[in-house]
Amino acid sequence: MAADEHIETASDLGDGSGEVISDGSDTPDTPAPEPNTPAPEPNTPAPEPDTPAPEPDTPTPEPDTPTPEPDTPTPEPTVTPSDPTATPEPTVTPSDPTATPSPAPTNVTESEAAKNLVAKINALAKETLTVNHAARVKELRAEYDSLPEDQKKFITNYDLLVGFESKIAELQKNQKDAGNATDISDGSGNVTGKTGTPVYYVSNLHAGKEFYLDSLKNNYQLSFSDDFSSVMDEIEKEYKEKNKLTDASDSRADGLTTSADSLLVRNWQDILAIYVYEQSQEGNTEFTLDSSAKDELAKIFAEMNPVVRDKESITHVSYGNYHINHYIKQNNISQENRTVLKKYVETDCKLLCAIVTDAKGFVRQSVGDDVSEERVNVITAAYSLVGEVGYFWGGKSTQIGKDSSWGSAEKVSAAGSASSGTVRAYGLDCSGFVTWSVINGYLNQGMQSSVGDGTSEQWENANVVSEQDAQPGDLVFQNGPEAGSNNHVGIICGKTDAGDWIAVHCSSSKNGVTVGEAYGASFRYIRQPSFYPTQTEVAEMENQGASADNAETDLITDNITTSATLVAETTNSLSDGLNVKDTATHDTAETITAPADAAEDVEITFEDMSDESENQTTSNYATGSVEVTDTLDEILNQNVSVSGSSAEILPQKPDNSDIQVTFED
Task: For residue 257, count other CB atoms closer than 10 A to its CB.
Answer: 20
- Cβ proximity of 503 and 492 under 8 Å: yes
- Is residue 560 within 8 Å of residue 650, measured between CB atoms? yes
Total tally of structural domains belonging to the chain: 2
Domain presence at residue 485 = yes
Q: Assign 175 a pLDDT band (cuts: 50, 70, 90).
A: low
CA–CA separation, 155 and 573 (whole Å): 52
DSSP category for residue 314: T
- Per-residue pLDDT at 376 exceeds 60: yes
101 inside domain:
no
Residues 617 and 587 in one domain: yes
Calpha distance 283→276 (Å, rounded)? 11
Give the pLDDT confidence of 431-448 residue by residue, as tens digits: 999 999 999 999 999 999
CB neighbour list of residue 7: distance below 8 Å, 6 or more residues apart: 152, 153, 158
Taking the C-alpha atoms of residue 648 and residue 594, their distance in angstroms, rounded to an integer, is 16
| Contact indicator for 308, 319 with CB cutoff of 8 Å | yes
Based on the fold, state whether residues 493 and 621 are members of the same structural domain: no
Same domain, 534 and 568: no
221 has a pLDDT exceeding 90: yes
Residue 23 within any structural domain of the chain = no
In this prediction, residues 345-354 reach a mean pLDDT of 96
* Full domain range(s) for residue 426: 210-541
Residues 475 and 621 both lie in one domain: no
**Mind listing the pLDDT tens digit for each residue in 485-523?**
789 999 999 999 888 999 999 998 888 999 999 999 999
Same domain, 482 and 621: no
Q: In this predicted model, what pLDDT tens digit does every residue of 598-650 receive, in sequence order?
A: 333 333 333 333 343 333 333 333 333 334 444 334 433 433 333 333 343 33
- For residue 58, tell me if it sits in a domain: no
Which is more confidently placed, 45 or 349? 349
What is the C-alpha separation between 634 and 637, in angstroms, rounded? 5
163 located within any domain: no
pTM above 0.75, yes or no: no
User: Which CATH number do you get for residue 273?
Assistant: 3.90.1720.10
DSSP string, 42-67: HHTTTTTTTTTTTTTTTTTTTT-STT
Q: What angle do CA 229, 231, 235 make, to 5 degrees?
A: 120
Is residue 581 located within the same domain as residue 461? no
Q: Do residues 504 and 514 touch, judged by C-beta distance below 8 A?
A: yes
Q: Are residues 302 and 259 in the same domain?
A: yes
**444 and 345 part of one domain:** yes
DSSP 474-488: -EEESS-GGGTTSB-
Render pLDDT for 2-53 as a digit per residue (tens, 0 to 9).
433 333 333 333 333 333 333 333 434 434 444 444 444 444 444 444 444 4
In a domain, 355, yes or no: yes
Q: Give a yes or no: residue 82 inside a domain.
A: no
Q: Around 55, how many Cα atoms within 13 Å sit in the side-chain half-sphere?
A: 7
| pLDDT score for 70 | 47
Answer yes or no: do 488 and 628 share one domain. Answer: no
Q: Are residues 532 and 568 in the same domain?
A: no
Whether residue 562 has pLDDT greater than 70: no
- Please tell me the predicted confidence (pLDDT) of residue 402: 96
- Do both 479 and 587 map to the same domain? no
For residue 348, which of 495, 221, 242 has the smallest C-alpha distance? 495
Which has more confidence, 470 or 556?
470
Indicate the pLDDT class of residue 285, thresholds 50, 70 and 90: very high
In a domain, 192, yes or no: no
Are residues 537 and 577 both part of a single domain? no
